Structure 1
Amino acid sequence: MILSVIKAPDPVLSLPSKPVEKIDKKLRKLIRDMKETLLAARDPQGVGLAAPQVGVAQSFFIMRKNHGESDEMDIFINPKIIKKTTKENLRNENEPIEGCLSVDRIWSPIVRPNHIEVEYMDIHGKTHKKTFSGFEAIIIQHEVDHLNGILFTTLAMEQNVSLYEERGKKLYEIEL
Structure 2
Amino acid sequence: MILPIVAYGDPVLKTEAVEIDKDYEGLKELIDNMWETMYNAHGVGLAAPQIGKSIRLFVIDASPFAEDEVDGKPDPRAAGLEGFKKVFINPIIEEEEGEEWAFQEGCLSIPTIREEVYRKEKIHITYFDENFEFHEETYDGYAARVIQHEYDHVDGILFTDLLSTLKKKLLTKKLTNIAKGAVNVDYRMKFPVTKRKR
Q: TM-score range by the shorter chain?
A: 0.7 to 0.9
What's the CA shift string for 1:14-42, capped at 9, x where partnerless? Answer: 0010001234560110000000011111x
TM-score by length of 1: 0.80
Distance (whole Å) between structure 2 residues aligned to residue 33 and residue 72 of structure 1: 19
- Partner in structure 2 of residue 173 of structure 1: none
For the pair 1:101 / 2:113, whether they are aligned, the reply is no
Moved over 4 A (4+): 67-72, 160-165
Structure number with higher relative contact order (C-alpha < 8 Å, ≥ 6 residues apart): 2
Aligned with 2:89 (options 67, 77, 85): 77
Opposite residue 60 of structure 2, the aligned amino acid is M
> 3-state SS of the aligned residue for 1:85?
strand
For the pair 1:147 / 2:154, whether they are aligned, the reply is yes
For the pair 1:33 / 2:28, whether they are aligned, the reply is no
* 1:72–1:38 distance in 2 versus 1, CA, 3 Å: farther
User: How far apart are 1:75 and its partner, in Å?
Assistant: 0.1
RMSD over aligned CA atoms reads: 2.5
Distance (whole Å) between structure 1 residues aligned to residue 113 and residue 120 of structure 2: 21
Distance (whole Å) between structure 2 residues aligned to residue 83 and residue 153 of structure 1: 22
What's the CA shift string for 1:45-91, capped at 9, x where partnerless? Answer: 311000000000100100004355667630000000001111x5x22
Distance (whole Å) between structure 1 residues aligned to residue 47 and residue 11 of structure 2: 15
* 1:91–1:161 distance in 2 versus 1, CA, 3 Å: farther
Opposite residue 125 of structure 1, the aligned amino acid is F
Distance (whole Å) between structure 2 residues aligned to residue 120 and residue 23 of structure 1: 16
> 3-state SS of the aligned residue for 2:113?
strand
Structure 1, unpaired ranges of 5+: 166-176
- Partner in structure 1 of residue 52 of structure 2: 55
Opposite residue 97 of structure 2, the aligned amino acid is T
User: How far apart are 1:108 and its partner, in Å?
Assistant: 1.2
> 3-state SS of the aligned residue for 2:22?
coil
For the pair 1:21 / 2:21, whether they are aligned, the reply is yes
What's the CA shift string for 1:92-145, capped at 9, x where partnerless? Answer: 6xxx41100001111111111010011000111111001111111111111111
Distance (whole Å) between structure 2 residues aligned to residue 110 and residue 153 of structure 1: 9
> 3-state SS of the aligned residue for 1:61?
strand
- Equivalent residues, number: 158
Contact 2:123 2:144 in 1 (8 A): yes
Higher helix share: 2
Structure 2, unpaired ranges of 5+: 67-81, 175-198
